[in-house]
Every structure is written in structure tokens, then in C-alpha cells.
A and B are shown apart, each in its own frame.
Chain A
Amino acid sequence: MKDFGLYIHIPFCSKKCDYCDFVSFSLDENAQKSYLEALCREIDLVKDKYKAITFSTIFIGGGTPSIVFDGFFKALTKKLYSCFKFSKKLEFTIEANPHSLTEDKLKEYLSCGVNRISLGVQSLDEQVLDTIHRTQSPKDVYHAFRLFKKLNISNVNADIIVGLPNQSYASISRTANYLKSRVQHISVYGLQLEEGTPLYRRVKSHELRLPDDDMVADFFQKTAKILKRTGFNQYEISNFAKPGYDCRHNQLYWDGSNYLGIGVAAHSYVDGTRFCNTSNFNEYINSLNGGTLPIKDSETLTPAQKREECIMLSLRTSKGLSLKEFSANFNENLLLSKKEQIERLIKLKKLEIKNGYLKINEGNQYLSNAIILELL
């Protein structure tokens, strides 16, 4: 039985980072209170539909979940546990910002059942952090790790970003080398310049310069090399884990499993339909106060879209695409339908076939789009 995940979005930040275009709103305790109420209303509205489901993962993401008022998660998880069923081997992750993380907060999380912390490190280079107006300093990260040790927290992910302005090989390897012995999981994201963000404007106005694609690719390879040498597996393009620490919630996204998203702008995928909530905070609150689910977009995938997603998502993973499953699901032998392209990509050492799986060759994950496009 495949996993079924639960995602909860916490849309608050004390300050938005320059590169971020996630939905988030500034800190205001009243807003947080009404948001918590709205989350509970949403849970009430959907609980009957999912009463037969046993959720195996919870992921609380943001925004910055670690900045909401003390007691927020106690109330929220109480609601969750009373309305949904969860697996005994629940993976429960919460995202945290090093700057706002305190011992009390961590204790609250643990008492709620949280067993995995995802820390937004991004970089340990002070200058790089300053440039993107990130609130934390490297000291906050060191402090967070002291707390993890003290509280015996031993399932930690660190998010890091490559491709930030002013980043250098030295700062990349310093960050990776510090983290490699302290965490069990690292997500390495390439900076995506999103329109409408302050960083976008600063780059377009030539105030800042981003490293070019070749350099970002080098940064990424460098990081990957450091991590792999230390025993991390790259189980997905951006995700590295020590054996046994692959993020199960993360994998839901790649293997076509179901997940339910609760909260403003949260995305869900249930039985072949992708849907998401409104990203307008007031609309979200008002809709739920009026007893209506705040679903904005909903799309039931056509077989062609499912096929596309399967190729696009499974090739991101190190496991690759199961040719047998693909043929069973889509009645298409990919090796025949894309014979020419696959042969060419194998010849170019971009793809390989191993034990019935088609996968991107090690070291070429950073070209995944170009490779996937050939197979769509």
C-alpha cells in the first residue's frame, strides 16, 4: 500500500527573503489565531472524506512554521490526531528557521510527535546571507545544532541553495562540509529567479549578478561530491540522504502517491486529481468561516498528463522509471515509442537502463529537463 501524505502550510514569515515567491504573510498574532481556526475548520470539512485513510507522513512547511506563537502546533496536532488516522511509523517533519528556533519550541514539536526537523540553512556564508536579506546568521545555525544534540534529535534535514549572488566554491564547500556530519538529509536547491521577487528586480537592474549556469552546475557537482563521499545517496535530483533517511513525504511527490494539503495555497493530489487552495489569505479565512472549502484550481489529469508526469517525476529519482509499471499503466512500451531518443541519450551517456528501470546517468541530474523533454 502506497503512502498517503498530509501537508500543512504555515504562511507566516517575519521577513520575506529576497529570492522567495512562496505565499507568506508578516507576523501578526491575531492573524495567526484566525489562521489556526481556519485550519481546524478545513480539517473538519474534509475529515469525513479521508476517514478511511491512514496517513503515513505529515509535513509542516512554510513560510516559517517556527515563528508562530507557542502552543500553535499543540492545538493543531491535537486537532489532526482527533480527526485523521496516522500510521504507527509516521514521519512527521516540521520546517524551521535557525533564527527563530528555541529550545522551548523544539520541545513543543517533540511533544506533538514531530520526529524530523528540516532546517532552512541556505548558506553558512555571512556575506551571501546578507546579500539576500536572510534574517539568520551562521551563528543561529550552530546554535540550532547544539539544541538538536541536547534534545537528541537525530533526523534532521538542511536546505541549502546553490547559485546565490556572491557564492563561491569556498563558501559552498564550507557549508557542505559543516553539514555533512551533522545532518542525515540535505536538500540542495538551485536558485530559481522568480519574477516579482526583490532578487529578480535587483538582478534585472544589474545591482546583483548571479553565477552563470555553468558555475551553478559546478557548485552543485561540488556539493554532490562532498556529500556522496560522506555516505549520502542522491535519491532525487535535489535530495541527498544517509541510508535509511530518505524523506518519505518527499518521495510521495515523485512516485505519484496521494497527498492532501491543508492551508492557504496548499496543493493536493488525490486519486488522479490535482487541486490547490486559494493563495489569498483573507479569501482562505473568509471561505472557511462561511463553511466552504477554499479550493481554487482543480484538474483531473488526462491519461496523457499522467503519462507526462510519470516520466517527469520518476526520472528525477535515482531509482528511475519502471518500464514494466509504465507499460502496465499507459499501455506503451517506452523503449519502442521513444526508441530513437532513448538510444541517442544512452549513446550520449545521459540515460541508462538497469534492472528494468530507465534512469538518468549519475552526474547528469542537472540536465534532467533537457533529457526529460526528449521523452515526453
Chain B
Amino acid sequence: MTRQEKIRNFCIVAHIDHGKSTLADRLMEATNTVAKRDMEEQLLDSMDIERERGITIKLTPATMKYQYNGEEYTLNLIDTPGHVDFSYEVSRSLAACEGAILVVDASQGVQAQTLANVYLALDANLEIVPVINKIDLPSADIEGTKKEIEDVIGIPCDEACEISAKTGLNITSVLDAVVKNMPCPKGEEDAPLKALIFDSYYDSYKGAVSMVRIFDGGVKVGDEILFMQTQKSFVVTEVGIFTPQPTPTENLKAGEVGYIAASIKNVSDTKVGDTITLKSNPVKKPLDGYKEATSVVFCGIYPLDGDKYQELNDALEKLKLNDASLHFTKETSLALGHGFRCGFLGLLHMEIITERLEREFNLEIITTAPSVEYKIWDNKNREYDVKNPSEMPPMASITKMEEPIVKMEIITPKEYLGGIMDLCSDRRGVYHDMQYIDANRTRLIYTMPLNEIVYDFFDKIKSLSKGYASMDYELAGYQESNLVKLDILLNGEICDALSLIVHKDKAYPRGRALCEKLKTVIPRHLFEIPIQAVIGGKVIARETISAMRKDVLAKCYGGDVTRKRKLLEKQKEGKKRMRRLGSVDLPSEAFVTILKLDD
């Protein structure tokens, strides 16, 4: 047997919660890659947020050794991020593999993300090994799940592994199937180096480290490598494999998975999807499928305390070291002062970044309503890419507007079908198709505007279906649209941080809901405050906060002035945490309400 014949490169695809990470942990245990006592639940998910939510954001590959029929095989497990926001990263991880384990929860069957991910795997020509998980659950329906996989996905399941990742039941059958059924890599050992970057991370000692799959050739310390997209070259300082900790090796050869460090200062030089080759002997053509990571969702991020602007800047820089898909530029708001307009791969990505700013950097931040990128043309035929309501040209000059749309796929038990279809059409969704997966479940296909799902679409789908429906989406270009900029006036002054771009038909209800909600979160002032929702100078909704009547410390406790002073100082602190717009003090909740409108 040749060296490459004893290598298998594979990933695991699954719907969220179907047990992908648990299975990965068990595989590492079964191959003694990690001793059981060192096992932390879900070893591959290394960030706190990932562990809490049971999702994978950053990839961590693992190289395992497994004995099969008297031969030692090297199994490289490449984890894939578990969320639609990272579908490009998923596609690059899949491109690094020859096979994929498809995990389906026997108690839940095929779900939206199962389909989305398995289609990506099939597109990448991977050999699929089906695994039915959670067979120990009383509600497990093994035969039904197999039939579903065969009917809906079209993968034969007679040899599917039936396991419980939780209890460790039949885990070795999965390893056997990987060796037996998945093809080995077939790289050319003597060809020029051709390596795919499927992820990268920043290490304070080694610099930006590329996680790679070597397709052809080999690489060792001292080689001068060339990144074909950026055309930058560096001298390799370290190569190695993940065990799963990065462990240096002499070299990396065709068919192998590992990492390359070359004292690279910036992760943006190690772009996911780029091809690494040797500068002295380059390949003619890079690997297919490279794409620039583009931001889909945007929002403003501001420090709650204006003095913390520089700290926020430093924190974003640090996060960007590890996350080339995070984009940010400086922006200034009348209401919020100095901050940043940030671009994200999707809503989850946005949530992760804001949470990490708060948790890892202890920053208190205000985020403005998420926006998408609109394309707008004015009467001088100039094109604007509008990511922020403040960039919108005057309504009168606009001749054409377009907004991004997505192809949305929802799988739901049929009893929730009505509610979900109502929600989709309320969100301006256009119905395309409906298929029955089994007697009970339905798959819905819609196209809908991205800006209708950036608010609370996920939460709504989940609550409408008591958590049973699942969804996934992909970007599907732009379509012409009739949009308006909705402004909020507080005591007669525009609060730019509360402005929104909405579809014309949604402007009235949203304006009303915003005014009503703001009335409940803005404290009473010494004067009456009108709250108005305005479109192009026309008031479409109004609420009034009446003037405050009582704010007093009415008793002096036997000369305890200190207590009074402390109370006032506390009140003053509370006031400092608010943002003053003209004469109105806005608590930070005001900016959150805009995200959580029940319409």
C-alpha cells in the first residue's frame, strides 16, 4: 500500500444538535487521539460561545491513527462550521476532503441544515457515509430515518451505521466505514506544491497560521511559499499536524492535512480558499472555488461610554486578527458619537462578534439595527451601495432601488405549515415550492428579502413551530424594491442611530411599533417628549412621553447627607450611561428595542 492509500480526509455534516461534535469527540477517544480523562465535552468547539450554543464557528481539525485489518491508517477529521453564515468556509472545508459522514438524529430525521450541508458535500463530489445517531432515545425511528435519507437525499442506507455518540455505541463501525468506503487522496507527490487553505487563525508567537490540505507536492521549513490570490510570499517557519493540538512535523506531503506557519503578521494574508504553492516552482493554476469573504449584514457598534472608543477599536483589531471576514470602518453618529460600521457574514456572525466584545474585552457596547446592503441609483445615474440609513440619498433624487434576496428553505412539521407560510408572506416572501419529506414533514422554498430576516425571523420560526421547524438560506442576488428611510424624531430632532431602511409597505406598522416601544423605554424628562416616526418629512406615527412629576429625596435621615449625596451620584452615573440627543437622554435599551419589535 502506498502512503496516500492509508490516508482518509473527511468531515462530518449534520443539522445543529444532531450530535456532530459529540461524534467527533467519540472518534478521537476511540482512536486514543485524546485520552478519555482529558476529554472536555465537545473538544473541537474551542470558544465559550460555541460550547454554550452547541455550534461550531472556528474549525479545529484533528489527525487520528486507526488500525484496520492490520494496517495503520491516518484519519484527518476536518470539522465544518455549523451555520449558514459560514457556508463559504464550509465549502472550503469540504473541498479539502474526499468523504463526509452524514449524521442524522434518529429522533428528528432530516432537517434543513442536513439538506443544505449534504448538498454542498455532494456538490464537492464527496463520498457520503450515512450515520444514524441517537438510536438510544426512546423516540428514535431508525428505519424511518433511513428511508428519509434514501427518499429525500438519495443516498442508500442499507449499510448505514447505527450509533449513539452519547453512549459510545457502535463508534468503531463509523471508523471502519470511513476506511472502507471513502476514497483515499490521489495527489501527485512530485508535482509542484498545491495546498488549499480551509481556515486560518492567529497565534501570538507564530503569526497567522494557515490550515491546509496538501493536494500535490510537499512543503517543509525553509521553503519560500507563495499565496496565489494575494501574490505574497513568505518563508515557512513551521509545519505540523493537529493532534488536535498543533504538533510540528518535518514536512507535509500530498494528501495530508496540517498547518503552515511563516511569520505572517496578518490573517488577511491567509485567505480561506487561497492556494499555497512554492515560489521557486509554482503551479500554473490555483485551485478552483476561491471567493472573497463578503459582508452581508451590517450594523453600527458604539461604546456605551464614549471614552472607550479607543478600547473598542483595539478590541475589533484583535478580533480581526483571527477573523478575516470581520470588516469595520470608522463612523460617526450624532446620537452615539464615534463608533464603527461593521460588516458580518450573517446574523450569527454579528451576534458572536458583539458577544465576544462584551465577554472577552469587557466592553459595554451599543449596536444599531442590522442593515443589509442596498443598491440605489439617483437621477444622475450614480450608484450608491447603502449599508447605513444615513448614506441614503434624498428620496426625490432616487430613480431605482434594489435589495438583496435569499433563497429560504424551511422544513417543518405540517401542523405549523400555515403559521410559517403566513410569516413568510408577511415578510414579503415569494413562494416557490413545497415538498413532502414524509407523512408529517414538509419542505418549503421561498425567496425573500434579506432585510426581512435580519430582525427576528429565526426566533419567529422557532416560536411558531415550538422549536420543531428548521431553516437555512443562501444569498440569491438582488431585486428591485420600493424602499423608504424611516426616521425617528425625539422632541423634534432626528435620532440618526434609530433610522431604518424599510419596504414602503412596512413603514407604517414599523413606525407605529417603534414609537410605542420607545415610549416604554425612554424615561420621563422634565418636559414632554413627542416621539415621531417620519418618512421624508411626513409624520406617520406619534407618541408622547409626558413630563416627569416626581423625582425627589424627600427625607433627610437625621443629617445623613452622605447617603443623599451617594444616591444622587448613583443617579448621575445612571444618567452618564445614557446617550443625550439634543435634550433627550436615551438609555441603551432604546437601541435594542429596534431589534425586538413585535409586529
Residues of A within 8 A of B571 (CB): 369, 373
Which of B550, B561, B572, B583 interacts with A373 by CB under 8 Å? Answer: B572
Shortest 8 CB-CB contacts between residues of A and residues of B: A190-B554, A217-B549, A213-B550, A369-B551, A217-B550, A370-B551, A267-B559, A189-B555
State how many residues of chain A have any CB contact under 8 Å with chain B. 49
Closest chain A CB from B526 CB (angstroms): 5
Q: List 30 A-B contacts (CB under 8 A).
A: A61-B558, A188-B554, A189-B554, A192-B553, A192-B554, A213-B548, A216-B550, A217-B549, A217-B550, A238-B554, A253-B561, A261-B559, A265-B558, A267-B557, A267-B559, A268-B559, A274-B562, A308-B568, A308-B569, A309-B561, A309-B565, A312-B564, A366-B550, A366-B551, A367-B548, A369-B552, A370-B525, A370-B548, A373-B572, A373-B575
Q: Give Cα distance in the complex from A369 to B575, angstroms.
A: 12
Q: Give Cα distance in the complex from A297 to B527, angstroms.
A: 39
Q: Give Cα distance in the complex from A259 to B525, angstroms.
A: 36
Question: For window 533-577 of chain B, which residues contact chain A by CB distance below 8 Å?
Answer: 548-562, 564-565, 568-569, 571-572, 575
Residues of B within 8 A of A9 (CB): 558
Closest chain B CB from A21 CB (angstroms): 9
Q: Give Cα distance in the complex from A344 to B527, angstroms.
A: 11
Contact B552 A367 (CB under 8 A): yes
Residues of B within 8 A of A348 (CB): 526-527
Q: Give Cα distance in the complex from A369 to B548, angstroms.
A: 11
Q: Give Cα distance in the complex from A250 to B559, angstroms.
A: 8
Residues of A within 8 A of B549 (CB): 213-214, 217-218, 366-367
Contact B551 A22 (CB under 8 A): no
Contact A269 B559 (CB under 8 A): yes
Closest chain B CB from A7 CB (angstroms): 6
Which of B525, B559, B561, B568 interacts with A372 by CB under 8 Å? Answer: B568
With known contacts A308-B565, A370-B526, A371-B526, A192–B559 Cβ distance under 8 A: no
A368 adjacent to chain B (CB < 8 Å): yes
Contact A350 B526 (CB under 8 A): yes
Which of B526, B561, B575 interacts with A274 by CB under 8 Å? Answer: B561
Chain B residue at smallest Cβ distance from A9? B558
Q: Give Cα distance in the complex from A369 to B561, angstroms.
A: 14
Which of A267, A350, A376 interacts with B562 by CB under 8 Å? Answer: A267
Q: Give Cα distance in the complex from A373 to B572, angstroms.
A: 6
A266 adjacent to chain B (CB < 8 Å): yes
Closest chain A CB from B128 CB (angstroms): 58
Residues of B within 8 A of A371 (CB): 526
Residues of A within 8 A of B548 (CB): 213, 367, 370
The residue among A61, A218, A366 with the most chain B CB atoms within 10 A of its own CB is A366
Question: For window 304-342 of chain A, which residues contact chain B by CB distance below 8 Å?
Answer: 305, 308-309, 312-313
A104 adjacent to chain B (CB < 8 Å): no
Which of B553, B559, B562 interacts with A7 by CB under 8 Å? Answer: B559
Residues of A within 8 A of B568 (CB): 308, 312, 369, 372-373, 376
A233 adjacent to chain B (CB < 8 Å): no
Q: Give Cα distance in the complex from A181 to B13, angstroms.
A: 86
The residue among B562, B571, B572 with the most chain A CB atoms within 10 A of its own CB is B562
Closest chain A CB from B492 CB (angstroms): 14
Chain B residue at smallest Cβ distance from A265? B558
A365 adjacent to chain B (CB < 8 Å): yes
With known contacts A305-B565, A350-B526, A371-B526, A190–B559 Cβ distance under 8 A: no
Q: Give Cα distance in the complex from A371 to B552, angstroms.
A: 10
A237 adjacent to chain B (CB < 8 Å): yes
A345 adjacent to chain B (CB < 8 Å): yes
Question: For window 234-250 of chain A, which residues contact chain B by CB distance below 8 Å?
Answer: 237-238, 250
Residues of B within 8 A of A365 (CB): 552
Besides A267-B562, A269-B559, 11 new A-B residue pairs in contact (Cβ under 8 A), listed by A number: A188-B554, A213-B548, A214-B550, A216-B550, A217-B550, A220-B550, A238-B554, A267-B561, A308-B569, A369-B553, A376-B572
Residues of A within 8 A of B562 (CB): 267, 274, 276, 297, 299
Closest chain B CB from A176 CB (angstroms): 16
Which of A220, A250, A312 interacts with B565 by CB under 8 Å? Answer: A312
Produce 1/0 per residue, A133-171, CB < 8 A to B: 000000000000000000000000000000000000000
Q: Give Cα distance in the complex from A261 to B525, angstroms.
A: 38
Q: Give Cα distance in the complex from A350 to B527, angstroms.
A: 10
Interface residues on B, range: 20 to 34
Residues of B within 8 A of A299 (CB): 562
The residue among B554, B568, B583 with the most chain A CB atoms within 10 A of its own CB is B554
Produce 1/0 per residue, B312-338, CB < 8 A to A: 000000000000000000000000000
Q: Is the interface of B mostly helix, strand, loop or mixed?
A: loop
Closest chain A CB from B564 CB (angstroms): 7
Contact A267 B558 (CB under 8 A): yes
Residues of A within 8 A of B525 (CB): 370
Q: Give Cα distance in the complex from A366 to B526, angstroms.
A: 11
Chain A residue at smallest Cβ distance from B568? A312
Residues of B within 8 A of A190 (CB): 550, 552, 554-555
Q: Give Cα distance in the complex from A152 to B457, angstroms.
A: 77
Produce 1/0 per residue, A119-131, CB < 8 A to B: 0000000000000
Which of B552, B557, B572 interacts with A368 by CB under 8 Å? Answer: B552
Chain B residue at smallest Cβ distance from A370? B551
Produce 1/0 per residue, A268-310, CB < 8 A to B: 1100001010000000000000000000010100000100110
Closest chain B CB from A213 CB (angstroms): 4
Closest chain A CB from B8 CB (angstroms): 63
Chain A residue at smallest Cβ distance from B527? A348
The residue among A9, A250, A367 with the most chain B CB atoms within 10 A of its own CB is A367
Closest chain A CB from B176 CB (angstroms): 62
Chain B residue at smallest Cβ distance from A275? B562
Produce 1/0 per residue, B207-247, CB < 8 A to A: 00000000000000000000000000000000000000000
Contact A269 B572 (CB under 8 A): no
Contact B526 A345 (CB under 8 A): yes
Question: For window 63-107 of chain A, which residues contact chain B by CB distance below 8 Å?
Answer: none
Residues of A within 8 A of B526 (CB): 345, 348, 350, 367, 370-371
Closest chain B CB from A254 CB (angstroms): 8
Q: Give Cα distance in the complex from A238 to B552, angstroms.
A: 10
Closest chain A CB from B64 CB (angstroms): 57
Q: Give Cα distance in the complex from A159 to B404, angstroms.
A: 68
Q: Give Cα distance in the complex from A71 to B549, angstroms.
A: 47
Which of A250, A268, A366 interacts with B552 by CB under 8 Å? Answer: A366
Residues of A within 8 A of B550 (CB): 190, 213-214, 216-217, 220, 366-367
Q: Give Cα distance in the complex from A22 to B558, angstroms.
A: 9
Residues of B within 8 A of A218 (CB): 549
Closest chain A CB from B551 CB (angstroms): 4
Contact A266 B553 (CB under 8 A): no
Closest chain B CB from A321 CB (angstroms): 15
Q: Give Cα distance in the complex from A257 to B480, angstroms.
A: 73
Chain B residue at smallest Cβ distance from A364? B526
Q: Give Cα distance in the complex from A133 to B553, angstroms.
A: 24
Chain B residue at smallest Cβ distance from A299? B562
Chain A residue at smallest Cβ distance from B562? A274
Q: Give Cα distance in the complex from A309 to B548, angstroms.
A: 24
The residue among B556, B560, B571 with the most chain A CB atoms within 10 A of its own CB is B556
Contact A237 B527 (CB under 8 A): no
Closest chain A CB from B383 CB (angstroms): 43
Question: For window 206-222 of chain A, which residues contact chain B by CB distance below 8 Å?
Answer: 213-214, 216-218, 220
Q: Give Cα distance in the complex from A371 to B551, angstroms.
A: 9
Closest chain A CB from B570 CB (angstroms): 11
Contact B558 A7 (CB under 8 A): yes
Q: Give Cα distance in the complex from A268 to B556, angstroms.
A: 13
Which of A22, A297, A313 interacts with B557 by CB under 8 Å? Answer: A22
Closest chain B CB from A230 CB (angstroms): 21
Residues of A within 8 A of B527 (CB): 348
Residues of B within 8 A of A350 (CB): 526
Residues of B within 8 A of A367 (CB): 526, 548-552
Residues of A within 8 A of B558 (CB): 7, 9, 22, 61, 261, 265-267
